[in-house]
Amino acid sequence: MSDEMMEEDGVIKKFMFVNRKAPYGTIYALEGLEVVLISAAFEQDVSLAFVDDGVFELKKGQDTKALGQKNFSPTYRALEGYDIEKLYVERESMEARGLSEEDLLVDVQVVSAAEMADLMAEQDVVISF
Amino acid sequence: MKIGVLVSEGPYTHQASDTAYNFVKAALDKGHEIFRVFFYHDGVNNATRLTEPPRDDRNIVNRWSELAKEHKLDLVVCIAAAQRRGIMDENEAKRQGKDAHNIAEGFRISGLGQLVEAGIQCDRLVTFGD
């Protein structure tokens, strides 16, 4: 019902999903990713930002066996298939955690905190997890 | 202005639901339209009618139900988040073979698309959470 309404409206907004939390320990990252995947069906201009501990969501080689939780990090690699290709990682957050671009499991654009602020200011809708 | 609201924390533990409630009331008083209030993450726990706080405390769930009735608010609980946390309506309880349901009056269970739709339709989407 709502899908049809969207198509009639033809509204395309800039949505940014801001990921701020580590992938495990709380459910925010996992449930945030569920919103991102649903948003793909609405043909909006979607981008993802990774700041603070959120940069850990993209860390290569996640092993959750000992946690007894599902490793959902492969889903970030599938985003391209949903036409979600704008992934921004804040340089300051990444470097403060001893990570570099080579440690991440997908191609991203690394931006400064100031650039990230500009990107956020451009958005119509910002939802953070 | 047409406003959508996202509540992403549970009642009592966190201030988010109280603040969202006060915000919605103030917005309505000023003549704004509340398109939808969407409950996600532990926010779905705002929708259980089994909530029974001490008598001298506010009843956060009933307060939402009353406001919904008064202003015909659309209070939507995310189905995936609700299933994880045991928030069920009658249909969902039947479908899942559960012996009880607990959704409070004025709330309905639906998908995450309702949140994205609120983002598209509203002039502002305002989040209350951590």
The 10s digit of each residue's pLDDT in B15-24 is 999 999 999 9
Residue A7, pLDDT score = 52
Residues B109 and B102: their CA atoms lie apart, in Å, by: 11
Q: What are B54-59's contacts with CB under 8 Å, separation 24+?
A: B58/B18
The answer to whether A127 contacts B81, with C-beta atoms less than 8 Å apart, is no
- Domain boundaries of chain A, sorted by first residue: 2-128
Residues of A with CB under 8 A from a CB of B: 2-3, 5-6, 9, 11, 13, 15, 27-28, 31, 34-35, 38-39, 41-42, 44, 124-125, 127-129
- Closest-CA distance, B56 to chain A, in angstroms, reads 32
Q: Total domain count for chain B? A: 1
Determine which of B6, B41, B77, B120 to mutate to test the interface with A (most A C-beta atoms within 10 Å).
Answer: B120
- In this structure, the strands spanning B33-39 and B75-78 are parallel
Residue in B60, B73, B78, B122 annotated catalytic: B78
Q: What integer pLDDT is reported at residue A9 of this predicted model?
A: 64
Nearest to A6 by CA among B119, B67, B44, B4: B119
Q: What is the pLDDT of residue A104?
A: 98
Q: What is the mean pLDDT of each run of 10 residues along chain A (129 residues)?
A: 54 96 97 96 96 98 96 96 96 98 97 98 97
Q: What is the pLDDT of residues A33-51, one digit of tens each?
A: 999 999 999 999 999 999 9
Beta bridge partners of A102: none
Q: Do B41 and A42 touch (CB under 8 A)?
A: no
Pair type for strands A125-128 and A45-50 = unpaired
CATH assignment, A2-128: 3.40.1260.10
> Under an 8 A CB cutoff, do B116 and A27 touch?
no
Q: Which residues contact A10 (CB under 8 A, 6 or more apart)?
A: none
pLDDT of residue A55: 98
Q: What domain range is B82 assigned to?
A: 2-128
**How many Å lie between the alpha carbon of A102 and the closest alpha carbon of chain B?**
30
Count interface pairs A-B at CB distance under 8 A.
54
pLDDT along chain B (130 residues), means of 10: 98 98 98 98 98 97 98 98 97 96 98 97 96
Q: What residue of A is the nearest CA neighbor of B82?
A: A31
DSSP reduced 3-state for B5: strand
Vertex A108 angle, CA A87 and B114, to 5°: 15
Contact B80 A31 (CB under 8 A): yes
Q: What is the pLDDT of residue A4?
A: 47
Residues of A within 8 A of B127 (CB-CB) are 127-128
pLDDT of residue A10: 82
